Amino acid sequence: MLQRFLRVRPRTMALAILPLLLAACQHAVLNPAGDIARQQRDLIYISTGLMLLIIVPVMVLIVVFAVRYRKDKGGGTYDPEFDHSTSLELVIWSAPLLIIVALGALTWSSTHLLDPFRPLDQKRTALEAAAPKEQPLRVQVIALDWKWLFIYPDQGIATVNDLVLPVGRQVRFDITSTNMMNTFYAPTMAGMIYAMPGMQSTLHAVLDRPVDSTGYSGNYSGRGFSDMRFRIRGVSDQQFGAWVNQARASGQTLDAARYLQLARPSENVPPMLFASAAPDLYQRILERCVEPGKPCMSDVMARDMARGGGHPHDARLGTGMPPGRDSAPLHGNKPEGAIFKSPDEKGSGPNVTKPTDPRKAPGVTKPGDQANRNMS
């Protein structure tokens, strides 16, 4: 009796606990709070359903064939002369082909419709259409080691690891990084997009219901990667205004000096609020010139253009080194390759020409010498 209990009890307990474990999980990707995240979730459902159209019949047919064509007591007819069936070939090849076509069309359309650089086409009622269209909320995102900095340029505030957005208003994220490649990932609102030093990515998204969730870094970036998270809150317009006032009352200022302290690697950083942020701070971070005396990328390029680093055929753009493989050296003419020269122009040398006296060549003096086979 005890042995029977031990055989059955673990299996029964596992089956009983499994639904409880699944019920405790809340997958943000499948529980979206924004229009972009909802469309991405639907893409997952549709793609999975299309692939199951092949997977499920195959799994069922494996069982059917194993039972029907088994060696003992099988009901199928064995035909050793069978080699072709047109109808079977049509089924085998047409079904996967149609699924691939459907997945390809779905991928092509969604790639354009969900382009993160593309502003959202939000549906508006007749009353909303008569009113002036509200401009997107701008948020500048900087990936630090290992924390997230959010600057609200229109409100003049900044936060660390705390992203608060009004529900129903489109948001434009301008995203960059300070030190290494990272990934801005807000699963309840939109997909992930890379943050790279010296480059800017853009993401448009919107929250359509109140939410309190978590955003992540989706690209390994070192020791503090696992704790590089931020809080996402979707609130009403009134709550958003109150939160902005709370940030402005914090008394902290985010200038270049404070940013350089913040940019130092640190882990498990609690949320911070800054009452104000330097207006040009994000642009200086993007152009990697926050440190005193360090030139910005735009200034370096402007000086290069002024010194003649422009186009060789346009005087307005400078007369510096021409671009491309045909660029000439600073002094003299570009040498021409030997392949374009005649034999007389190439000259001669002991390492590239025939022996001075062909009668003294090894092939003549020592015909059977093994060294004559080495022509490399």
* Entry pTM: 0.67
- State the average pLDDT over residues 33-48: 86
Range of weakest confidence among 78-82, 118-122, 171-175: 118-122
Lowest mean pLDDT among 2-6, 80-84, 157-161, 167-171: 2-6
169 within 8 A of 134, measured Cβ to Cβ: yes
DSSP string across 206-263: -B-S-EEEEEEE-S--STTGGG--EEEEEE-HHHHHHHHHHHHTS--EE-HHHHHHHT
Please tell me the least confidently modeled range out of 25-29, 171-175, 324-328: 324-328
pLDDT in tens, 223-246: 888 889 999 999 999 999 999 999
Average of pLDDT values for 107-132? 67
Per-residue confidence (pLDDT) for residue 233, from 0 to 100: 93
DSSP 125: -
C-alpha span between 245 and 256 (Å, rounded) = 23
Residue 143 has what pLDDT? 92
Q: What is the mean pLDDT of residues 60-73?
A: 82
Q: Which of 19-28, 71-80, 110-119 has the highest mean pLDDT?
A: 110-119
pLDDT value of residue 374: 60
pLDDT higher than 70, residue 88: yes
CATH code for the structural domain at 133-286: 2.60.40.420
**Residue extent(s) of CATH 2.60.40.420 domains in the chain:** 133-286
Which of the two residues, 165 and 13, has the higher pLDDT score? 165
Band (pLDDT 50/70/90 cuts) for residue 158 is: very high
176-197 as b/e: b if 16+ CB within 10 A: bbbeeebbbbbbbbbbbbbbbe
- State the pLDDT confidence band at 162, using cuts at 50, 70 and 90: very high
Mean pLDDT of 322-330: 42
